Structure 1
Amino acid sequence: MFRKLLLLISAAFVIASCSQQTKEYTIAFYNVENLFDTINHPEKWDDDFTPEGKLKFNGERYQDKLEKLARVLSSIDTLRLPSIIGLCEIENKKVIEDLCKQETLFEGNYGIAHSESPDKRGIDCALIYKKEDFKYLKHKAINIQFPWEPNYKTRDILHVEGIIGTDTVHVFVNHWPSRRGGLEKSEKNRVFVAEQLKSAVDGIQTKNPAANIIIMGDFNDEPTNKSVSQTLNAGNNQNSSNPSYLYNLVYNMDTKGEGTYNYRGNWNMLDNLIVSNSLLNEKNGIHTSFDAGKIFKEEWICYKNKKGILVPSRTYGGPNYYGGYSDHFPVYFKISE
């Protein structure tokens, strides 16, 4: 009798423990470095990424890149596939579908949120999500129109709304204008895009100051640059009690000299992960931690340069085909429920 009672108590303890187990969701972002198909679309500047183009981008190279990108994304979390993945430098929805069909990602049963942007190169932002983890509600594109240069077309900001657990989440996927022409000369373009993003975030937080917001992307600016730290007002203040405050999960890594992109031997933290302060409150639904931001930089996705530094192993360098993964490292963090 006593033994049976002990077994019943043990079983009840196990059931209670399982019911209280924390569920984790991995959130990632990856600039995949020009994931183009091999078809020439006349309305896009994609001629180079065709078998006849100067990069000789054929079916074999396309498939190799898909497999390599899928391997990276499936390796970020060793226990389960990421729940949400933001992507940039993808040409169209078809290449995302092909990526999700790869053996290492297929079991994720990913849904796709994507809108064609007006970027003349033909590259867009997108979000893929595990349907079992993220209940998709809707998405829209925030178009960027520069008043001083109306003919300059850049990537839209993708705003996706969905539910994790029982909490609504707003995810913004970004790919801001490049630094071409120099940092100072090009800065106003990124500041303008940051203003559009801030306006969208403010609109959400005006209705609900405690809204859960995730901002990810290749900003082509670092956490301490004006566009991010001042215009978007995303920083690293861990003492703010304002639920609307935006906290940059990669800020402190940047100050330590880490980065996701290596330019002429120098590390740049161009890929940012930003969350609203509401997601840093463990007492209120889904949450993360101040030190949750991570860079995925396993040695096998790296190339050792002439200085002996391990940098992202890229697919192309100018016209030269290296057959690597991407010129950026992915970034990621985990949310707990």
Structure 2
Amino acid sequence: MNKVFLLTGLSLATSAWGQVALTEFRVAFYNVENLFDTIDHPQTLDDAFTPTGEKAWTTTRYRRKLNQIAQVMDSLQLPAIIGLAEVENRAVLEDLVQTKALRPGSYAAVSYDSPDLRGIDVGLLYRQDHFRVDSAGLIRIAFPLWLEPEGYTTRDILYVRLDGGAHHLFHCFVVHWPSRRGGELASEHRRLWVAQYLRRALDGLLAVDTVAQVLIMGDFNDKPDSRSVHNVLGAIEARDTTYLPGVFYNHMMALQRAGEGSYNYRGEWNMLDQFVTHGIGWPGAWRVQEVRVYRPDWLLYEGKRPNRTYGGPKYYGGFSDHLPIVLDLVWQSD
């Protein structure tokens, strides 16, 4: 990895790294629901996820959780890029990539600690046989006192520039926007604010590289047609039409209209987890072969909702309260 930096703009560099060119690969994103280690870190509010805490979070439960996440990714044939939300730190990602199921993927991890009060962050895994990290950093979100008089902190936006050789350079952003705690409308201003940060970073990137290949993935805590995603970020529905420079495309809108979702709230499916792209679908570039919510029966409780790890303090031992989303890309030469 070349460097770590706090992003106020995005710098670009030519890569001289080469390898066998990719012709297709898979991207997955998964909010894994509270992947904490078992250690009490005094600087964050993680006390509940310790052996003596409210959740009785033991090494056995931690290891089970790691193997469950690995099982999901193994069943997806070890995606080349994996975005993750609700991971406590770099150490849990290192434990994850060392599970038996993920070791064949030769994954490396990228993650940084954020100011989130619980210490919950985002991370990215990538297969080292497909990509290398050209550069990585974060976008630190600051809320002004006029917007949040009592102060508020949230997760950073993770940025990773992945070099796949043969001009296959991808600008990856992994997000986990502020929750809907307190109500969707009462909390909306926070997501609108974060969306502005991301949009400014994207504008800076496109000012330097108008044909940049951008992969944005994450838990937006909003739907594809919500104001934060559709109006502020400016992500419009991806259709089988001409893809234009400077336009960001949301690949989950059609699935949302079909009644699908990645998160189930009180019996209603919500498409909170999304892929947004730029520079995908043009002639002589990558195109989307398929996008879907991954929902095998074994990830669901009674076939109705995600089989979660906890419900309050009660331990269920399931995978996560979200379902993974999957994006398959193929190279088109003209």
TM-score, normalised relative to structure 2: 0.89
Letter in 2 for 1:169: F
Q: Distance in 1 between matches of 2:26 and 2:250?
A: 17
Q: Give the secondary-structure state (helix, strand or coil) at the position aligned to 1:128.
A: strand
**Mapped partners of 2:224, 2:315: distance in 1:** 31
Q: Give 1:205's aligned amino acid.
A: L
Alpha-carbon separation, structure 1, partners of 2:192 and 2:291: 23
1:120 is aligned to 117
> What are the ranges of 5 or more consecutive residues in structure 1 without an aligned counterpart?
1-20
Q: What pairs with 1:60-209 in structure 2 (closer than 5 Å)? A: 60-77=60-77, 81-147=78-144, 148-149=147-148, 151-166=151-166, 167-209=168-210
Query: Partner of 2:290: helix, strand, or coil?
Result: coil
Cα distance in 1 for partners of 2:110, 2:55 equals 29
The one-letter code sitting in structure 2 at the alignment partner of 1:64 is R
Q: Give the equivalent residue in structure 2 for 1:233.
A: 234
Matched position secondary structure for 1:267: strand
User: 1:334 aligned to 2:328?
Assistant: yes
| Structure-1 residue corresponding to 2:311 | 317
The Cα offsets for residues 140-172 of structure 1, whole Å up to 9 and x where unpaired, read as: 110111112273110000011111242211000
Residue 325 of structure 1 aligns to a residue whose secondary structure is coil
Q: What residue is the counterpart of 1:5 in the other structure?
A: none
Provide the residue aligned with 1:16 in structure 2.
none
Aligned to 1:12: none
The offset of 1:301, in angstroms, is 1.1
Q: Is the 8 A contact 1:90 1:124 kept in 2?
A: yes
- Does residue 291 of structure 2 align to residue 293 of structure 1? yes
Query: What is the deviation of 1:74?
Result: 1.2
Q: Residue 257 of structure 2 aligns to which amino acid in structure 1?
A: T
Q: Which residue of 2 aligns with 1:43?
A: 43
* CA–CA separation in structure 1 for the residues paired with 2:109 and 2:66: 16
Deviations 1:280-307 (A, max 9, x none): 12x323x122x62211110011101xxx
Taking the aligned partners of 2:299 and 2:268, their CA distance within structure 1 comes to 18
Q: Give how far 1:22 is off.
A: 7.5
Q: TM-score, normalising length from structure 1?
A: 0.88
User: What one-letter code is carried by the residue in structure 2 that aligns with 1:269?
Assistant: M
Q: Which has the higher helix share?
A: 1
Q: Which amino acid aligns with 2:89?
A: N
Q: 1:22 to 1:126 in 2, by over 3 A?
A: closer
* Contact kept? 1:249, 1:292, Cα under 8 Å: no
Instruction: Count how many residue pairs are aligned between Structure 1 and Structure 2.
Output: 307
Amino acid at match of 1:248: N
The answer (yes or no) to whether the contact 2:177–2:221 under 8 Å persists in 1 is yes
Deviations 1:287-331 (A, max 9, x none): 122x62211110011101xxxx52110000001000000000000
Q: Specify whether residues 241 and 101 from structure 1 end up closer, same or farther in structure 2 by C-alpha distance, changes over 3 A only.
A: closer
Letter in 2 for 1:250: M
Q: Which portions of structure 1, spanning 4 or more consecutive aligned residues, are displaced by more than 6 angstroms?
A: none
- Give the aligned CA root-mean-square deviation in angstroms: 1.6
Whichever residue aligns with residue 62 of structure 1, its letter is Y
Partner of 1:23: 23
Aligned equivalent of 1:242, options 241, 244, 247: 244
Q: Is the 8 A contact 1:294 1:331 kept in 2?
A: yes
Rg comparison, structure with higher value: 1
SS at match of 1:49: coil
* Distance (Å, rounded) in 1 between the aligned partners of 2:300 and 2:208: 44
Q: Deviations over 1:166-199 (max 9, x none)?
A: 2211000000000011111100100110110011
Equivalence for 2:15: none
Q: What does residue 255 of structure 2 align with?
A: 253
Cα distance between partner residues in 1 of 2:209 and 2:138: 21
